[in-house]
């Protein structure tokens, strides 16, 4: 279905050649180092390549967001060198070079073919690209004040102004938080929203269906699929949705979000306001435990954006195009009970056309630069809904993360958004299994409030000029959603097991004097969220690296493509600040590449422990010349 979707959107096919020899290796194998290193190389050479231009002038850039060779809208030549094998995982050091940061700006230029990095059979949690699925959102905010401007094409490429086909429409959702939430263990704050996006869950663990455990959504198990979120389903087939279910008293259709244009179209054809019709898709019952629901739904038709050459234009067009729907986008019921003076003020800077959370944005644009001055600790035990809050994410030094927007000279305060994203450098997107959790209390100095954008909870924090546009993030905890709950979501393809690394993603949208809006984004270093540290893994050793290099060389020779026999990959070890710094020099002869005769024949990248991922090895790198290199 995915491919179909892509085709429908006119995605250009990625011509990358994946030579992945990766053995279908289960994650466990990585850990056990049972597989011999292998390396795959794929070369993709787009017709045009102008990385620099791609992002520099653009506020944001949307990724294809598709798992299957999600051909990036903008392609650049790339070589993917993927080695599978035996590299142990290294602890991510917090003080090290912010990989995310480094890669971030690059990533925005081009996205590697997702599949190219891994064998589909060994889907690695950290890299799966799925949290994009749109599902219904139901949200209730503990804060009491919340609004939802979730009208941005959150999860599907086609919703992108730049990519979406004309005429496409989407159903957006808006939710009204209403029912109070019961929190099993305690903190009233804990849950809230959580139930919202995922529907409900029992107070008791619901384990994945598989074997004995059954999902007790509503006391019953039965449905594993929830038609209400036709995200990837063929069509809107209203059935009962275990997740959304309803509570005894409060029953209201939850918000649904449709990613599939066909579905949307179908629904649109059925109803304009969709409310009534969609209601049918909601189950009559819900899991017992989820007593709280945020009933309410607001469907909105999203006009398709025009394909413009300039992303910036796209954005504007997009904005204006959506304006008419703005009204529908906001749930009137939300705009009440401000929680903090700051939030009670109008927020003109919040446009209804904010880029979807899975869009890749640059961390800087023009004079503006969003930076994480103090990185969060590399480990933070997330809490479950069944637990009380485990506090805010802290910084290594004991304080809290700090984010600052540089280059902003206006007097208008801005809003810093924060959500939990994947730790996958290849594609930063909301993490399906974690949500940011708002922390309140005397120890918290930073005001914040929550907003739902698609299935993702977003914490909004004021960025004030008087504070030098600097915010101390002491109000953000991390909530873990049960894997079984998430995996059951229609359209969800990510797997939760061992997918415990996240990143704090910060965004800021700046309305410029000229009326244009610039959206910036920066992600923190990866944060391990599980209680126990991942199983012990041997450190990366030179031998392994060399083995990988050798394997890579072999593969390059085998590939034959742009790599000539004299091509080679060399790993060099050196120390730097106590970290292992591995320098990989990939010398490739690309003479055969007529389209890029100017490309340098030698590429070099550096892999450090920071971008080492348990199941995937090193995160991919995009070399200066646009070449992507990954070593799994």
Partner DNA sequence: CGAGGAACATAT
Partner DNA sequence: ATATGTTCCTCG
Which residues, 60 to 99, sit near DNA by CB under 7 A? none
SS3 label, residue 42: strand
Cβ-proximal residues to 514 (8 Å cutoff; 6+ apart), any chain: none
Q: How many residues does the chain have?
A: 632
Q: Single out the segment in contact with DNA by CB under 7 A; choices: 14-22, 234-242, 315-323, 494-502.
A: 494-502
Measured between its terminal Cα atoms, the distance across the chain in Å is: 27
Asked if residue 454 binds DNA (CB under 7 A), the reply is no
Tell me, letter by letter, the H, E, C secondary structure of 372-411: EEECECCECCCEECCCCCCCCCCECCCCCCEEEEECCCCC
- Phi and psi at 220, nearest 5°, equal -110, 170
Q: Which stretch binds DNA (CB under 7 A): 152-160, 204-212, 513-521, 579-587?
A: 204-212
Q: What does the per-residue mask of binding to DNA show for 161-200, with x meaning CB under 7 A?
A: -----------------------xxxxxx-----------
26 binds DNA (CB under 7 A): yes
> Shortest approach of DNA to residue 358 CB, angstroms?
22
Are 102 and 61 in contact, with CB atoms under 8 Å apart? no
Q: Which region among 4-12, 141-149, 358-366, 495-503 touches DNA (by CB under 7 A)?
A: 495-503
CB of 204 to DNA, least distance (A): 5
Stretch that binds DNA, among 164-172, 379-387, 516-524, 579-587 (CB under 7 A): 379-387
Report 277-316 residues binding DNA (CB under 7 A): none
Contact window for DNA (CB under 7 A) among 70-78, 448-456, 475-483, 578-586: 475-483
Convert 139-160 to b/e letters by CB count within 10 Å (16 or more is b): bbbbbebbbbbbbbbbbbbbbb
Minimum Å gap between C-beta 585 and DNA is 32
Taking residues 532 to 551 in sequence order and writing x for each that binds DNA by CB under 7 A, - otherwise, the string is x-xx----------------
Strands (E), 557-601: 568-576, 579-587
Q: To 10 degrees, the CA torsion angle through 620, 624, 626, 628?
A: -20
Residues 294 and 254: beta-carbon distance below 8 Å:
yes
For 534, the token pair is: 């991942």
Distance separating alpha carbons of residues 583 and 572, to the nearest angstrom? 5
Contact between 398 and DNA by CB under 7 A: the answer reads no
Give whichever of 204 and 327 is closer to DNA, judged by the CB atom: 204
- 311-to-50, 105, 151, 317, 365 alpha-carbon distances in Å: 14, 16, 18, 10, 13
Q: Minimum Å distance from CB 421 to DNA?
A: 17
d(CA 161, CA 163): 6
Q: Which of 88, 208, 281, 362 forms a contact with DNA (CB under 7 A)?
A: 208
8 A C-beta contact, residue 549 and residue 571: yes
Task: Pick the stretch among 126-134, 268-276, 336-344, 480-488 that binds DNA (CB under 7 A).
Answer: 480-488
Q: Interface with DNA by CB under 7 A: which range of 25-33, 192-200, 305-313, 369-377? A: 25-33
Q: Minimum distance from CB of 126 to DNA (Å)?
A: 11
Distance CA 24, CA 392 (A): 38
Of the candidate residues 88, 112, 355, 477, the single one contacting DNA (CB under 7 A): 477
Write the interaction track for DNA spanning residues 211-250; mark x where CB under 7 A is met and - where it is not: xxx-------------------------------------
Interaction of residue 484 with DNA, rule CB under 7 A:
yes
Confirm or reject binding of residue 498 to DNA (CB under 7 A): yes
The verdict on 396 binding DNA (CB under 7 A) reads: no
Which one, 500 or 611, has the nearer CB to DNA? 500
Stretch that binds DNA, among 76-84, 293-301, 424-432, 439-447 (CB under 7 A): 439-447
C-beta separation of 457 from 450 below 8 A? yes
Q: Tell me: does residue 446 bind DNA (CB under 7 A).
A: no
Does the footprint of DNA cover residue 322 (CB under 7 A)?
A: no
Check binding of 483 to DNA (CB under 7 A). yes
Check binding of 482 to DNA (CB under 7 A). Answer: yes
Total residues contacting DNA (rule CB under 7 A)? 52
389 binding DNA? (CB under 7 A): yes
Task: Determine what percent of the chain falls in helix, strand and coil, rounding each to the nearest 5.
Answer: 20, 20, 60
Q: Is the dihedral of CA 25, 431, 230, 136 positive or negative?
A: positive
Residue 579, burial from CB neighbour count under 10 angstroms (0-12, 13-18, 19+): middle
The whole-angstrom separation of Cα 487 and Cα 224 is 9
Q: Is 28 in the site for DNA (CB under 7 A)?
A: yes
* Residue placing its CB nearer to DNA in the complex, 381 or 406: 381
Q: What's the token pair of residue 185?
A: 């263990």
Choose between 121 and 531: whose C-beta lies nearer to DNA: 531
376 touches DNA (CB under 7 A): no
Q: What's the rounded Cα separation, in Å, for the pair 63 and 308?
A: 16
| Site residues, DNA (CB under 7 A) | 26-28, 31, 184-189, 201, 203-213, 381, 384-392, 394, 439, 441, 443, 477, 480, 482-484, 495-500, 530-532, 534-535
């Amino acid at each position: 279905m995915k491919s179909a979707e892509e085709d429908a959107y006119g995605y250009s096919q990625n011509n990358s050649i994946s030579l992945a020899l990766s053995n279908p290796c289960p994650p466990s194998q990585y850990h056990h180092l049972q597989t011999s290193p292998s390396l795959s190389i794929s070369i993709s050479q787009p017709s045009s390549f102008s990385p620099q231009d791609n992002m520099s002038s653009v506020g944001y850039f949307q990724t294809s967001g598709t798992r299957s060779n999600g051909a990036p809208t903008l392609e650049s030549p790339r070589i993917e060198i993927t080695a599978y094998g035996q590299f142990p995982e290294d602890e991510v050091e917090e003080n090290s070079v912010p990989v995310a940061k480094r890669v971030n700006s690059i990533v925005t230029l081009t996205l590697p073919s997702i599949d190219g990095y891994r064998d589909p059979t060994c889907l690695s949690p950290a890299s799966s690209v799925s949290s994009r699925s749109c599902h219904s959102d139901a949200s209730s905010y503990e804060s009491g004040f919340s609004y939802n401007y979730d009208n941005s094409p959150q999860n599907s490429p086609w919703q992108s102004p730049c990519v979406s086909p004309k005429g496409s429409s989407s159903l957006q959702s808006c939710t009204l938080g209403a029912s109070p939430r019961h929190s099993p263990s305690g903190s009233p704050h804990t849950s809230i929203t959580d139930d919202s996006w995922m529907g409900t869950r029992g107070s008791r663990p619901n384990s994945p269906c598989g074997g004995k455990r059954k999902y007790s959504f509503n006391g019953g198990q039965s449905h594993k699929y929830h038609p209400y979120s036709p995200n990837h389903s063929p069509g809107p087939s209203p059935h009962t949705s275990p997740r959304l279910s309803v509570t005894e008293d409060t029953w209201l259709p939850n918000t649904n979000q449709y990613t599939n244009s066909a579905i949307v179209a179908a629904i649109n054809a059925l109803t304009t306001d969709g409310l009534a019709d969609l209601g049918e898709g909601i189950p009559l019952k819900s899991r017992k435990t989820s007593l709280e629901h945020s009933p309410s739904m607001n469907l909105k038709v999203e006009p398709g954006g025009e394909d413009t050459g300039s992303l910036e234009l796209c954005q504007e067009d997009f904005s204006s195009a959506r304006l008419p729907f703005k009204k529908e986008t906001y749930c009137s019921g939300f705009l009440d009970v401000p929680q903090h003076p700051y939030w009670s003020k109008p927020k003109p800077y919040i446009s209804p056309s904010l880029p979807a959370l899975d869009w890749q944005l640059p961390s800087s644009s023009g004079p503006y630069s969003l930076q994480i001055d103090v990185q969060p600790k590399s480990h933070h035990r997330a809490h479950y809904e069944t637990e009380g809050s485990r506090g805010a994410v802290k910084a290594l030094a004991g304080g809290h993360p700090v984010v600052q927007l540089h280059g902003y000279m206006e007097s208008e305060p801005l809003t810093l958004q924060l959500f939990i994203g994947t730790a996958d450098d290849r594609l930063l997107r909301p993490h399906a299994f974690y949500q940011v959790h708002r922390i309140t209390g005397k120890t918290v100095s930073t005001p914040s409030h929550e907003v739902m954008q698609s299935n993702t909870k977003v914490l909004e924090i004021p960025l004030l000029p008087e504070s030098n546009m600097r915010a101390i993030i002491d109000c953000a905890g991390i909530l873990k959603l049960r894997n079984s709950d998430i995996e059951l979501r229609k359209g969800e393809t990510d797997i939760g097991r061992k997918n415990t690394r996240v990143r704090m993603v910060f965004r800021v949208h700046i309305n410029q004097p000229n009326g244009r809006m610039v959206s910036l984004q920066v992600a923190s270093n990866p944060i391990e969220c599980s209680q126990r540290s991942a199983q012990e893994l041997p450190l990366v050793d030179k031998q392994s690296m060399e083995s990988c290099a050798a394997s890579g060389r072999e593969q390059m020779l085998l590939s034959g493509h742009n790599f000539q026999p004299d091509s080679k990959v060399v790993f060099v070890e050196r120390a730097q600040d106590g970290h292992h710094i591995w320098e990989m020099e990939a010398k490739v002869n690309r003479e055969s590449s007529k389209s890029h005769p100017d490309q340098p024949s030698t590429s070099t990248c550096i892999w450090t422990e920071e971008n080492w991922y348990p199941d995937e090895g090193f995160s991919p790198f995009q070399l200066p010349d646009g070449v992507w290199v990954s070593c799994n």
